[in-house]
Amino acid sequence: MQPHHRRRWRVSVVVAAAILSLAATGATPVAAAATNTRELTADLDGAPIALADVGKYHCDDFDAPRIHCFVSALERDARLGGIGTLAAGTGPYVVIYDQGSYAGASMVISGNYSALAAIGWNDRISSFKGQNSQSGHFTTDWFGGGTKYSFCCNQQVPSLGGYDNTFSSVTRT
């Protein structure tokens, strides 16, 4: 093996070990990046869950840095009193779904996530609904990199076509 290949291999092993170590403790290596300064936590019907499990349920981030999750969207929406319209720049700006036509797990988002992997949503979005006449954008790479997919003004997208399961960050604009 060439010396430069050994260096890359050692670095890869060290990075993989660090990620596995974090995963064993339930932490995610990008959790801090998701909301910049807040430490995220999540619960399912009030009981703590791993952040990586947020993408399996119907959640909202209105009590950030706490993400509340429920087994059904009806339970979540009842807690929220519906997702109706709010003043510009407040409340949710997008609802994401892990299946097309607004099916499967979902999350009502009011914050920015520069790394959706922190909350179990990396490369999982298959449809979405813009909320409250707000605008935003998804990107295909963490930290706003890659291709940008912008949305505006209550736009509803039941199928993402070539962008299906490619988004890694989301930001209100």
10 Å CB burial of residue 78 (0-12, 13-18, 19+) is exposed
Higher pLDDT, 136 or 10: 136
Q: What are the tokens at 67? A: 């993400």
| Residues forming a β-bridge with 43 | 48, 68
Whether 119 shows a pLDDT value over 90: the answer reads: yes
Which residue matches tokens 């922190």?
Answer: 118
Domain boundaries, given as residue ranges, for the chain:
33-172
Give the CATH superfamily of 33-172.
Crystallins (2.60.20.10)
Q: Give the tens place of pLDDT for each residue, 59-84.
A: 999 899 999 999 999 999 888 776 54
Residues constituting the chain: 173
pTM of the model: 0.76
Q: Give the tens place of pLDDT for each residue, 133-173.
A: 999 999 999 999 999 999 999 999 999 999 999 999 999 99
Whether 113 shows a pLDDT value over 50: the answer reads: yes
Q: Give the tens place of pLDDT for each residue, 25-63.
A: 343 333 334 444 369 999 999 999 999 999 999 999 989
